Amino acid sequence: MTAGGDVHRRAFEAEFRRLEESAMYSAQTQFEEAKRWRALHWLLGVPATLLAAVAGTTALVESTGGTPAGILALVSAGLGAVLTTVNAPQRAGQAAASANAYLEIQTAARQHREIDLPDWPLGEAREALAALTARRDAQNTQAEVPSRRAYRRAQANLRAGSQTYAVDQRARSRTDGAPTEPSPPRQPRQPDAQT
pLDDT score recorded for residue 193:
45
Give one DSSP letter per residue of 114-181, joined into a string.
Answer: IIITTTS-HHHHHHHHHHHHHHHHHHHHHSPPPPHHHHHHHHHHHHTTTT--HHHHHHHHHHTT---P
Q: Are the C-beta atoms of 117 and 16 separated by less than 8 Å?
A: yes
Longest CA pairwise span in the chain (Å): 91
pLDDT score recorded for residue 4:
66
User: For the chain, how big is the Rg over CA atoms in Å?
Assistant: 26
CA distances from 54 to 27, 57, 67, 145 (A): 41, 5, 13, 38
Banded pLDDT at 156 (limits 50, 70, 90): very high
Banded pLDDT at 49 (limits 50, 70, 90): confident
Q: Are the C-beta atoms of 24 and 155 separated by less than 8 Å?
A: no
- The whole-model pTM stands at 0.71
151 Cβ contact list (under 8 Å, min separation 6): 25, 29, 32
CA distances from 19 to 146, 165, 172, 182, 187 (A): 19, 18, 21, 33, 40
Banded pLDDT at 2 (limits 50, 70, 90): low
Q: For the chain, which residues make up each domain, given as ranges?
A: 16-162
Between CA 77 and CA 70 the distance in angstroms is 10
Reported residue count of the chain is 195
pLDDT score recorded for residue 161:
85
- pLDDT, tens digit (0-9, with 9 covering 90-100), for 28-46: 999 999 999 888 888 877 7
Banded pLDDT at 70 (limits 50, 70, 90): confident
- The number of angstroms, rounded, from the C-alpha of 129 to the middle of its chain's C-alpha atoms is 23
Please give the mean pLDDT across all residues of the chain.
82
Compute the average pLDDT of residues 68-94: 77
Query: In 3-state terms, the chain is what percent helix, strand and coil (to 5)?
Result: 80, 0, 20
Lowest mean pLDDT among 35-39, 116-120, 148-152: 35-39
